[in-house]
Structure 1
Amino acid sequence: MEALFRDIARLDPEAQAAYMALHSPLDEQGRYLPFDELFYRFPESMDITLAWGIIKSARRQQQQSLMFPRPPLASASFMLTPLIQRTVSQADRYATTHALQGMSDKVGERERLGYLLEGLIEDEAISSSQLEGAATTLHVAKKMLRRNREPRTADERMILGNYKLMQHAWQVRDQPLSLAMICDFHRIAVAGIDDDQYRPGAFRDTDDVVVVDQDGDIVHQPPPAEGLEARLQSVCDWVNACHDDAQRPEYIHPLVKAVVLHFTIGFEHPFRDGNGRVARALFYWFMFKNEYAAFRYIAISVLLKRAATRYGRSYLYSETDGLDLTYFIEYQCEVIGRAIALFQENFQRVARDIEECNAWLDRSGLNQRMSHRHQLVLQVARAGLANVFTITNVADRLGCSYNTAAKVLNDLVDYGLFRKRKAGREWLYSMRQRREIISDWRDVR
């Protein structure tokens, strides 16, 4: 650094001022840009190496070391940029377990909110699979999950595995991270797809695993398989260590720490395939563990899938700039912020639907005849969150017996709200058109 400033000091005063004006971690628009987006912005008269060195110097002064105990991650660091701080604040306001409880109180109960937002869990499982190449459409995938249909293709098995993985991440949220847990996540995600290719739950033992871009060019060569378990154990130790004391210099907000965990799994690439799914699921697991329960309904992969190239590039920028994870954390926070906003919009829509449905039920007189289970299934249908219901699916979503779910659906048919039809050996239930329902009720009255 001293040599850098000595070189600048040799220049004339006007040139010195131009270089020193660059001494900021952010550009004039507040962006933390990588070298390949900055170098062409420098005046032609500037020495690019000197200009980049000035910016890097300013960044190092504000970066926080992540203090991983083993190389290569031992050199990893990040800077808490305004974008990251905004997203952290957003998560604290809208995505905590306490915030979710407040939403539940507003709509009446946690069970009702969970059922109405369940589709967002499906969205995450499906989109995470599509990021890895699954070609099944959203409609077909949701139909499979909601009907509990057995997967028919490798792509459908991938989606079902991801769905089970999201459920598992929630169930083990109180456990510490371990090598066994990482292997369990992988096994749940990929078992039965192509076991020879994926080797479910087994760490790679060769160095022939690489990450390639859309053109087939290698963009990431993971660290060697030798020492992999020791490095992953140090990641586990870091994750399990306490970093949530805001009074200490090693403090890291749980959201940032979860994103770093996501990065480390992608960077180490511990499995032959399926690393992205495991990395994203571990992000969710850590958020659940730290009382951000609303992330059950915040589908990040939906947005990552829309800009998969930027997702991969954020890894590359961090890796090629001395493991400055700010690029990756910033991109993830940008996506997370949008996902939280979409979650808020979905909740507001659900709340409006519940209010409108309750008002109509009161006017029709049906409210006194219907249990909360009837109302819940009706609200899901009215909101368009599901078009077809099966007895098995409703039993799973409501957490009740098959017979109870059958009674709920058949009652809705008897009330004139639903219709049913036979498809093979299964009954399918769907809501009638609103004008048909209102017309029938007017005729009855």
Structure 2
Amino acid sequence: MIKRPPDNSKFPEELWAYVCEHFEAEILDYLSFWQVVDVKGRYLHYDEFRYRIPKGINPDLAWALTKKARKSAQQFLINFGEENISKYVETSLIQKTKTIVDQSTTTAALEWANKKVGEGQNIAYMLEDLIEDEAISSSQLEGAATTTLVAKEMIKRKREPRSMDERMIIGNFKMMKFVWDKRLLPLTTDLIKELHAIGVGGIDDEKYTPGTFRLTDNVVVEDKDGNIVHQPPPAAGLDERLQSLCNWVNTDHDDIESQSYIHSLVKAICIHFSIGYEHPFNDGNGRVARALFYWFMFKKDYGAFRYISISNLLKEATTQYGKSYLYTETDEMDMTYFIDYQCSVIMRAVAAFKSHCQKTVENIESFDTWLFNSGVYGRLSGKQRIVFQVAKNSPNTIFTARYVEEKLHCSYNTAATVLNGLVELNLFDKNKDGKEWVYSLRDKQDIQKNWMS
């Protein structure tokens, strides 16, 4: 269980006076705790802080000094009811993440990547594989047992889900498409309900009650041992609190010269936290919270987030994800814990996206050199080149005529001709799965061997 911080509403002046009188040589040791982070730059909660105090130092006094430093540096964010006023401190990690997000994930940055890859309007198709990752990972984070490979195959073939786990993934996929399509709309409670209904509808309607806010207080968050770690605010007043959240989200905080300025990334993370904290639905709250994070990033023109999955990393450290919620809740709604942790995840997610783009460029350049020199490239039509580029950059991707028809905006017959032509050139394999033909890239070494023989 999380160790709550001691009550520092009144600074322990008597204890500080005692230290000054009896341990003058140690005063500097105490003063070293008058800072918002530790010597390693970590914004520690008391739960961890108390274990990193040198012997002979009173942990409660050291904590009181740290809290004083933090309160002097805090910035106002959002109210959670009349008494829970949330604030945060700009750690160096938060600052770095904001800069990287601004540099690498805006729509303008994505357009630059288009030119770098050299495929213009088709880079979105090349990165299509990444769009599915958040929907799949977010479902797996909530317990869906379907493998990523099977989930991708289901989405690409548009086949009907065969289990509740697969329905969760399809629901999340639809939800991510919904937030992209609705990114220009203001946030309303009806939009939140509609998002939930799309994400969980048809999975287990009795359990999820799609699109309906909870009416009781029997919804709790438990740890893996069944201990209650979060009791959401009461259902009474939920509609009013969510309306207040919507009003805050719809308020312009973009003026960097204003005292009310909040960076879009920080605001999106706050929306994520707010839905998780309020837990407005019987189930499926985490998926809605993460989807609304993306909705706001899309709204603020960070288009590259279509290809960046935070859930892919959150599912690798679910304990830390949960603790970042609890640390905030147990320490006077200090949002720094949650924002800082989310930024650590987003930093890695953006780095993975940039690495994928770089590898895409390198793979295209190196393999295209061989394709050109071997004469293979000259035998491909424009549409075949696009499909082939996608396939060689995502070797596990499968293709169907329906899928290519949708992505290349061509007729079904044209899509089938494109794929069958790739088979005839010994670049793709073709197999029957039920009533549908499924195509996939042959091993690259086999392709080169066949064309050199």
TM-score bin, normalised by smaller chain: over 0.9
Please, what TM-score do these two structures have when normalized by structure 2? 0.93
Within the candidate set 294, 316, 321, 2:331 is matched to 321
Within the candidate set 318, 343, 346, 1:336 is matched to 346
Aligned to 2:25: 14
Within the candidate set 194, 210, 223, 1:200 is matched to 210
Letter in 1 for 2:198: I
Aligned to 1:278: 288
Within the candidate set 23, 26, 32, 2:37 is matched to 26
Within the candidate set 297, 311, 321, 1:311 is matched to 321
- Following the alignment from structure 1 to structure 2, what is the Cα–Cα distance between the partners of residues 110 and 223? 49
Aligned to 1:415: 425
- Contact in 2 for aligned 1:262/1:282 (Cα 8 Å): yes
- Contact in 2 for aligned 1:203/1:270 (Cα 8 Å): yes
Within the candidate set 165, 173, 180, 1:170 is matched to 180
- Following the alignment from structure 2 to structure 1, what is the Cα–Cα distance between the partners of residues 448 and 58? 75
Aligned to 2:3: none
Aligned to 2:99: 89
- Could you tell me which runs of 5 or more consecutive residues in structure 2 were left unpaired when the two chains were aligned: 1-8
Letter in 2 for 1:4: P
- Listed one character per residue, the Cα deviations across residues 306-354 of structure 1 (whole Å, up to 9, x for unaligned) are 0011100110000000100100001100000000000011001111122
Does residue 101 in structure 1 map to residue 111 in structure 2?
A: yes
Cα gap change, 1:9 to 1:101, in 2 (>3 Å): same
- Following the alignment from structure 1 to structure 2, what is the Cα–Cα distance between the partners of residues 298 and 343? 6
Aligned to 1:4: 12
- Listed one character per residue, the Cα deviations across residues 45-82 of structure 1 (whole Å, up to 9, x for unaligned) are 33332221111010000010114374354x11110100
- Following the alignment from structure 1 to structure 2, what is the Cα–Cα distance between the partners of residues 349 and 254? 29
Letter in 2 for 1:306: E
The residue matched to 1:17 in structure 2 has which SS? helix
1:184 CA displacement:
1.2
- Contact in 2 for aligned 1:24/1:58 (Cα 8 Å): yes
1:15 CA displacement:
4.1
- Listed one character per residue, the Cα deviations across residues 18-70 of structure 1 (whole Å, up to 9, x for unaligned) are 32221111111111111011112224433332221111010000010114374
- Contact in 1 for aligned 2:80/2:86 (Cα 8 Å): no
Aligned to 1:60: 71
1:435 CA displacement:
4.2
1:110 CA displacement:
4.4
Cα gap change, 1:148 to 1:3, in 2 (>3 Å): closer
- Following the alignment from structure 1 to structure 2, what is the Cα–Cα distance between the partners of residues 72 and 288? 31
Aligned to 1:237: 247
- Contact in 2 for aligned 1:100/1:293 (Cα 8 Å): yes
Aligned to 2:302: 292
- Following the alignment from structure 2 to structure 1, what is the Cα–Cα distance between the partners of residues 314 and 384? 36
Task: State the 4+ residue runs in structure 1 displaced beyond 6 angstroms.
Answer: none
Within the candidate set 395, 406, 411, 1:401 is matched to 411
- Could you tell me which runs of 5 or more consecutive residues in structure 1 were left unpaired when the two chains were aligned: none
The residue matched to 1:203 in structure 2 has which SS? coil
- Contact in 2 for aligned 1:380/1:386 (Cα 8 Å): no
The residue matched to 2:437 in structure 1 has which SS? strand
- Contact in 2 for aligned 1:119/1:385 (Cα 8 Å): no
- Following the alignment from structure 1 to structure 2, what is the Cα–Cα distance between the partners of residues 286 and 155? 27
Aligned to 2:47: 36
Give the RMSD, CA atoms, in angstroms.
1.7
Matches within 5 A, 1:223-262: 223-262=233-272
- Listed one character per residue, the Cα deviations across residues 60-118 of structure 1 (whole Å, up to 9, x for unaligned) are 00010114374354x11110100111111110111111100000111123442211211
370-379 vs 335-344, which moves further: 370-379
Aligned to 1:48: 59
59-68 vs 393-402, which moves further: 393-402
- Following the alignment from structure 1 to structure 2, what is the Cα–Cα distance between the partners of residues 8 and 68? 33
Equivalences, count: 442
Letter in 1 for 2:418: V
1:294 CA displacement:
0.5
Cα gap change, 1:3 to 1:245, in 2 (>3 Å): same
Matches within 5 A, 1:215-226: 215-226=225-236
- Contact in 1 for aligned 2:11/2:64 (Cα 8 Å): no
- Following the alignment from structure 1 to structure 2, what is the Cα–Cα distance between the partners of residues 272 and 435? 52
1:139 CA displacement:
1.6
The residue matched to 1:166 in structure 2 has which SS? helix
Cα gap change, 1:441 to 1:247, in 2 (>3 Å): same
Cα gap change, 1:122 to 1:10, in 2 (>3 Å): same
- Following the alignment from structure 1 to structure 2, what is the Cα–Cα distance between the partners of residues 5 and 375? 73
- Following the alignment from structure 1 to structure 2, what is the Cα–Cα distance between the partners of residues 120 and 351? 16
1:430 CA displacement:
2.0
Letter in 1 for 2:113: M
Aligned to 2:402: 392
